[in-house]
């Protein structure tokens, strides 16, 4: 479904943003959606990449076999890679210009606001600190700092396939089978939490530790209003989002039955 959405969106890009690989598919008929559907159905139906044994015994047996193998998926990928390579010199040129302009912009902004700025930590190890804290993005609208499994079930009940979840999650939740992972104030397993730390693109997967240096979560996103953080941080709306380590451990233990992995990592429950 995601692939189809990307393809149909690309089919109506403006002239200077066309994707050659997509144009080869959608130019064959009058309906972009129909052409994309036909391509996906034919390509995924005929590809042998889904056959693990065939891949290992035939495609990957030698470099020549891999290079000689062709099907719709690989040809599509090759067209994408070719266009990316052709665009790279122009992208590098533009990035160079923008990088210089961004430095000038920060200098002007610093002079205008007459205050110190947080130093640029790109390409370095970095540490930021803050507090677990909710926020109010609009009047009479408060976002609590924690979500829970109950929220997963509520979103799943909306019928939106993006929020589908394994039935075992609901079964365990109804039995209140939380193990040692429940948060007392929620009477539930915390899933995600908000904090006012300043994060940016590339911070996904960063560990979140408490004041004692204990791992409590993993950073993965920012609140929608905090996407401007790259330019300005504000206590009122700048919130990052992390998955609570208790939910990670609950899923590993109760859903995936991966106790052997927990034991390998030295996690004692």
3-state DSSP call for residue 5? helix
Q: 83-104, pLDDT tens digit by residue?
A: 999 999 999 999 999 988 988 8
Gyration radius (Cα) of the chain, Å: 24
Nearest-angstrom CA–CA distance, 53 and 236: 55
- Using a 10 angstrom Cβ sphere, with 0-12 exposed, 13-18 middle and 19 or more buried, the burial of residue 181 is buried
**Other CB atoms within 10 A of residue 20 CB:** 11
Q: Is 124 exposed, middle or buried (0-12, 13-18, 19+ CB in 10 A)?
A: exposed
Q: Report pLDDT digits (tens) over 204-224.
A: 899 999 999 999 999 999 998
| Average confidence score pLDDT of the chain | 90
Long-range contacts at 122-130 (CB < 8 A, ≥ 24 apart): 128/197, 128/198, 128/199, 129/197, 130/195, 130/196, 130/197, 130/198
* DSSP codes of every residue in 109-132: HHHHHTS--PPP-TTS-------B
pLDDT tens per residue, range 170-213: 999 999 999 999 999 999 999 999 999 988 777 889 999 999 99
Of 1.10.150, 2.40.10, 2.60.40, 3.40.50, the CATH number of 135-264 is: 2.40.10
Ramachandran class of 242: left when φ > 0, alpha when ψ lies in -120 to 50, beta otherwise:
beta
- The model carries a pTM of 0.63
> Which residues contact residue 4 at a Cβ distance below 8 angstroms, ignoring those fewer than 6 apart?
36, 37, 40
CB atoms within 10 A of CB 219: 19
Identify the residue whose tokens are 């960063």: 206
Residues of each domain in the chain carrying CATH 2.40.10: 135-264
Higher local confidence (pLDDT), 195 or 4: 195
Maximum distance among all Cα pairs of the chain, rounded to whole angstroms:
66
């Amino acid at each position: 479904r995601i692939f189809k959405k990307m393809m149909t969106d690309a089919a109506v890009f403006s002239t200077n943003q066309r994707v050659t690989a997509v144009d080869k598919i959608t130019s064959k008929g009058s309906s972009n959606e129909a052409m994309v559907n036909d391509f996906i159905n034919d390509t995924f139906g005929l590809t042998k990449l889904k056959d693990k044994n065939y891949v290992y015994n035939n495609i990957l047996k030698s470099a020549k076999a891999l290079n000689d193998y062709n099907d719709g998926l690989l040809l599509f990928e090759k067209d994408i890679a070719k266009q990316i390579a052709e665009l790279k010199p122009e992208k590098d040129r533009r990035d160079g210009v923008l990088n210089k302009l961004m430095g000038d912009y920060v200098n002007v902004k610093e002079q205008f606001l007459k205050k110190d700025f947080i130093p640029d930590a790109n390409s370095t190890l970095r540490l930021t600190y803050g507090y677990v804290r909710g926020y109010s993005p609009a009047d009479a609208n408060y976002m609590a700092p924690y979500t829970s499994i109950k929220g997963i079930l509520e979103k799943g009940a909306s019928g939106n396939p993006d929020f589908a979840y394994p039935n075992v999650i609901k079964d365990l939740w109804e039995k209140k089978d939380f193990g040692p992972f429940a948060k007392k104030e929620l009477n539930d397993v915390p899933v995600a939490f908000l904090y006012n730390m300043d994060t940016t693109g590339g911070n996904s997967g960063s560990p979140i530790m408490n004041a004692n240096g204990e791992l409590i979560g993993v950073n993965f996103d920012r609140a929608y209003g905090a996407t401007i953080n790259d330019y300005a941080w504000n206590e009122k709306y700048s919130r990052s989002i992390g998955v609570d380590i208790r939910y990670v451990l609950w899923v590993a233990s109760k859903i995936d039955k991966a106790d052997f992995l927990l034991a390998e990592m030295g996690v004692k429950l």
